[in-house]
Amino acid sequence: MSDGGLFDVPDAAEQERMVEAVLFASAKPLSVGELQARLPHGCDAAAALSRLAELYAGRGVEVRKLGDAWAIRTAPDLSHLMMREVVETRKLSRAATETLAIVAYHQPVTRAEIEEIRGVSVSKGIVEQLMELDWIRLGRRRDTPGRPVTFVVTRTFMDHFGLASPRDLPGLAELRAAGLLEGTPPPEAETRPATLFAAADEE
Amino acid sequence: MSDGGLFDVPDAAEQERMVEAVLFASAKPLSVGELQARLPHGCDAAAALSRLAELYAGRGVEVRKLGDAWAIRTAPDLSHLMMREVVETRKLSRAATETLAIVAYHQPVTRAEIEEIRGVSVSKGIVEQLMELDWIRLGRRRDTPGRPVTFVVTRTFMDHFGLASPRDLPGLAELRAAGLLEGTPPPEAETRPATLFAAADEE
Amino acid sequence: MADDLSEGPVRDAVADRLAAEALIVDVAGFEGPLDLLLRLAQTQKVDLRKISVTDLARQYLAFVKRAREMRIELAADYLVMAAWLAFLKSRLLLPPDPEEEGPSAEEQAAHLAFQLERLEAMRRAAAALMARDQLGRDVFARGAPEGVARTRRVTYTATLLDLMQAYARTRTRDEFRPFVMDRDDVWTMEEALDRLRPLIGNATIWTDLAAFLPEGWDGDAARRRSATASTFAAALELARDGRLHLEQADMFGPIRIRGRT
């Protein structure tokens, strides 16, 4: 350990210990930047992280990448031992899970687009519920007339569903290959009922 | 992993994983008995625990015995990483700024001289604060009865205020010319402080 | 339930009511016309891309007709969809009108099929998402996270301007201080007392008060006045304490004092 000199950078093993300690201490995932900020100057959090992830592979707890952040989580195959730790959560309604899936697979997505896909207007309660769970949040406004807000999924969402990246969403590649994630505009909007659905957005 | 047979006992490595995961997820330290109760039948929690403690020895976190229970805790030498320093910048108090100014203009200056100029006694706290900021330090003792200590400004002070030398500080006449003095003092005041500076310089 | 069997109309009424209730439940169970269409399409048991939109339109219209016969209030969007599907169905069955502009009936049908397929895909995706290992259910975070202690460090700052203004303030404070009497020419009573006390012991004979004025205070009138007043006051103070005697022979005559022995 080198802790004497003011500008001594801890060696690789020590950096690994530091990342390990900080990651263990936090219940929430930490981004590389956040980790970096907690380490002494000159440390390479990203390198220490990847070494640490390797070290923990196959263990009872794992170093997992969750979106742009990292966290230590118990191995999923040991969930049966954790009955006592299970947090009872209210079951999400079908409408809410569908809306969540649409945000996750189509993000950034506007409310009108969600309604187009689901064929019904999105109730305010659902968006509120998903935002309260910190699973979706507002993204950038769309550069189209009216500059509608968009929704994207959050780091908490990635953490909750154990997703290392949005690309890891189940079946994403197949859906994309089938063209089901493209914003295919309707052939003509005037006569189609879809316009009526979209109108529900305004209510 | 053996999860098929009803009476299969997990092997040693698997038991270690289990203890690791349970200990990690538990909100409070667990006794050997409690761990034993959480593991499948036939496991040896104590043995797995001691192997795990060994495995973690020297790592960023350690398996520690707390009373008669066990928990995963940050290694004590890394506790400094668990501190987040919030730096708050405040404006120096009026009394401290005045004291500092007097030291800068009259250095080396004794406490009694500062008090004479300010017209009030200088609190110990202010001198300590200015010394802690490394803006003033003790100069040579004055060759007068009682040999009082003197104060001078530091290199840090010069850096902070962007001064090459304390002599670069503008005189009172210049301050007034720059409109930095409020009010209209009597004309004789023009010359008096200047001579006082000169006298202070000679000391 | 023999009565029910014998009385046909009653049984029919019950059956109708049950059917109506089932339909109400069904309509309530659908999330809009698209959801209903998807459910109907799924009964065709074919790839949604190969779905027969005309069959689907027929099924949907039949559903709406039945709901109307049972006087079930259908939301407006179900009826709009019905009207559109009836229109689409008729266009699909007729040869295309070469004069007509806009998308063909086939294109509109294809888009409807796409919409249904996309909705179904999102439903499957939602199910797949929910089936993943979830935090707090299958995967767990540290049960006893060690919080980050926040320490507050306060740094102080000042600018050169602050410094100069502060100095200017201290150097000019005297010039603006509240008015106090200049004490250069004042001999205070405390000073007179301090001077008189040790001298009076030796004054065994009557002595003019003026003799007790301090050196240098008998010349300038202002100074003499101040010293005389304070020395007189001090003499009165000491007389009260029984330390000396005072006498004045006549009005405005000299005041003489003598120590008390």
Structural domains of chain A, with CATH: 12-81 (1.10.10.10), 94-201 (1.10.10.10)
Minimum distance, in Å, between the CA of residue B185 and any CA atom of chain C:
6
Among chain A residues, the shortest Cα distance to B1 is held by A77
Which H or E element spans position B150? Answer: strand B150-153
**What is the ipTM, given to two decimal places?**
0.63
Query: Residue C257: beta bridge partners?
Result: C207, C246
For chain A, state the CA radius of gyration. Answer: 22
Does position B195 have pLDDT exceeding 60, yes or no? no
**CA-wise closest residue to A85 among B177, B145, B30, C177:** B30
Distance CA C232, CA B48 (A): 101
Residues in C closer than 8 angstroms to A187, CB to CB, are 102-103, 107-108, 110-111
Cα–Cα distance, B54 to B58 (Å, whole number): 9
Averaged pLDDT of chain A = 84
Token pair, residue B186, equals 């009597």
**Rg (chain C; Cα; Å):** 58
Q: How far is the alpha carbon of A39 from chain C, nearest alpha carbon, in Å?
A: 13
Question: Which is it for strands C149-157 and B83-91: parallel, antiparallel or unpaired?
Answer: parallel
Residue A34 has pLDDT above 80, yes or no: yes
- Which chain A residues are Cβ-neighbours of B18 within 8 angstroms? 60, 78, 81
Minimum Cα–Cα distance from B16: chain A residue: A60
- pLDDT, mean of residues B23-52: 91
In chain A, which residues have their Cβ closer than 8 Å to the Cβ of C125?
A: 101, 104-105, 169-171, 175
Closest CA to C163 of B191, B200, B192, B103: B103
pLDDT at C114 over 60: yes
C107 and A187 within 8 Å at the Cβ level: the answer is: yes
Query: B134 to chain A nearest CA, in Å?
Result: 19
User: In sequence order, which residues have a C-beta less than 8 Å from that of residue B45 and are 6 or more positions away?
Assistant: B15, B19, B32, B35, B36, B39
Q: In what order do the strands lie in the sheet with A69-74?
A: A30-31, A69-74, A61-66
Percent of chain A exceeding pLDDT 90 equals: 45
pLDDT-derived band at A24, boundaries 50, 70, 90: very high
Q: Which residue has the higher pLDDT, B84 or C260?
A: C260
H/E stretch holding A74 reads strand A69-74
Please tell me if residue C33 touches chain A, with a CB cutoff of 8 Å: yes
Of C118, C126, C111, the C-alpha closest to A118 is C118
Facing A60 at nearest CB: one of B18, B27, B77? B18
In the structure encoding, which two tokens stand for residue A149, read together? 């807000």
Most distant CA pair in chain C, distance: 154
Token readout for B167 is 């002599």
- Give the Cα separation of C171 and B180 in Å (integer): 12
Closest CA to C38 of A174, A98, A110, A105: A98
A21 and B84 within 8 Å at the Cβ level: the answer is no
The pLDDT value recorded for residue A101 is 95
Q: Is B98 within 8 Å of C162 when comparing Cβ atoms?
A: no
Residue C24 has what pLDDT?
59
Length of chain B counted residue by residue: 203
A169 contact residues in C (CB cutoff 8 A): 125, 129
Name C139's bridge partners.
C135
Chain B residue with minimum CA distance to C148: B82
C219: CB partners within 8 A, 6+ apart: none
The pair phi, psi for residue B70, each rounded to 5°, is -120, 145
A58-107 residue pLDDT tens: 999 999 998 889 999 999 999 888 877 777 777 888 899 999 999 999 99
- A 131-160 residues with CB below 8 A of C? 159-160
Residues B49-77: what's their mean pLDDT?
Answer: 90
Who among B21, B38, B78 is closest to A75 (CB)?
A: B21
A159 to A71, A102, A135: CA distances (angstroms):
8, 18, 9
Q: Of A198, C125, C148, whose CA–CA distance to B78 is shortest?
A: C148
Most confident listed range (A190-199, B70-79, C211-220): B70-79
Nearest CA in chain A to B2: A77
Reduced to 3 states, what is the DSSP secondary structure of residue A152?
Answer: strand
3-state secondary structure of A138: strand
- The answer for C 97-116 residues in CB contact with A (under 8 A) is 102-103, 107-108, 110-111, 114-115
CA A184/CA B68 separation, integer angstroms: 64
CA distances from C143 to A84, B21, B73, C127 (A): 11, 10, 11, 28
Residue of B nearest to C166 (CA): B98
Q: Which amino acid is it at B43? A: C
pLDDT digits (tens, 9 = 90+) for C87-105: 888 888 887 777 777 778 8
C63 alpha carbon, distance to own chain's centre: 54
Q: From CA B63, how far away is CA B53, in angstroms rounded?
A: 5
Contacts with C30 (C-beta within 8 Å, 6 or more apart), sequence order:
C36, C39
E strands in chain C: 149-157, 207-208, 244-248, 255-259
Average pLDDT of chain C, as a whole number? 80
**Model confidence pLDDT, tens digit, residues C236-246:** 988 888 888 88
- Residue A124 confidence (pLDDT) above 60: yes
Neighbours of C70 (CB within 10 A): 15
- The tens digit of pLDDT for each residue in A144-186 reads 888 888 999 998 999 999 998 888 999 999 999 888 887 666 6
- Best C64, C92, C124, C135 residue to mutate vs chain A (most A CBs within 10 Å): C135
User: Is the pLDDT at C108 greater than 70, yes or no?
Assistant: yes
Calculate the CA dihedral of residues A87, A90, A94, A100 and round it to 10 degrees.
-60
d(CA C39, CA B56): 56
Hey, which chains touch B, using 3+ CB pairs under 8 Å? A, C
How many beta-carbon pairs below 8 A join chains A and B?
A: 71
Residues of chain B numbered 44-103 and touching chain A (CB < 8 Å):
58-61, 72, 74-75, 77-78, 81-82, 84
pLDDT of B56 above 90: yes
**Longest C-alpha distance within chain B, in Å?**
105
Out of C152, C157, C173, the one facing B86 most closely (by C-beta) is C152
Within 8 A of A16 by CB-CB distance, chain B residues are 60
Cβ neighbours of residue A50 closer than 8 Å, sequence gap 6 or more: none
CA distance B30 to C168: 67
Chain A contacts in chain B segment 151-170 (CB below 8 A): none
* C251 bridge partner residues: none
Contact A105 C133 (CB under 8 A): no
**Cβ of C179 under 8 Å from any chain B Cβ?**
no
Residue B86 has pLDDT above 90, yes or no: no
Q: What is the pTM of this model?
A: 0.60
The C-alpha atoms of residue B158 and residue B154 are separated, in whole angstroms, by 7
Yes or no, beta carbons of C160 and B189 under 8 Å apart: no
Chain B, residues 38-67, CB within 8 A of chain C, namely none
Whole-number CA gyration radius for chain B = 34
- Interface probe for B, chosen from C138, C146, C170 (most Cβ of B below 10 Å), is C170
Q: Do B39 and A84 touch (CB under 8 A)?
A: no
- Give the CA distances from residue C29 to residues A47, B83, B98, C24, in Å, rounded to whole numbers and listed in that order: 52, 54, 78, 8
The encoded tokens of residue B172 equal 């009172």
Using a CB-CB distance cutoff of 8 angstroms, which residues of chain A are in contact with residue C148? 25-26
Among C67, C77, C63, smallest CA distance to C21 is for: C67
Among the residue ranges A48-52, C158-162, C206-210, the one predicted with the least confidence is: C158-162
CB C169 within 8 A of CB C162: no
| pLDDT over threshold 70, residue C17 | no
Q: Peptide bond preceding B108: is omega within 30 degrees of 0, i.e. cis?
A: yes
H or E element in which residue B136 lies:
strand B136-138
Residue A144 C-alpha from the chain's centroid:
26
**Per mean pLDDT, which range of A108-122, B167-181, B187-201, C42-56 is the poorest?**
B187-201
Tokens of A103: 């945000």
Q: Which of B26, B85, B98 sits opposite C151 (nearest CB)?
A: B85
> Sign of the CA dihedral A4, A8, A13, A14?
positive
Residue C194 has pLDDT above 70, yes or no: yes
Chain A residue whose CA is closest to B39:
A81
- C2 pLDDT higher than 50: no
**How would DSSP label each residue in C28-62?**
HHS-HHHHHHHHHHHTT-S-GGG--HHHHHHHHHH
Q: How far apart are CA C202 and CA B66, in angstroms?
A: 87
Beta carbons of A74 and B24 less than 8 Å apart: yes
Q: Which of B108-112, B167-171, C85-89 has the lowest mean pLDDT?
A: B167-171
Interface of B with C in 87-126 (CB under 8 A): 87-92, 94, 96-98, 100-102, 104-105, 117-119
3-class secondary-structure state, position B72? strand
Write down the pLDDT at residue C3.
43
Total Cβ atoms within 10 A of residue A136:
24
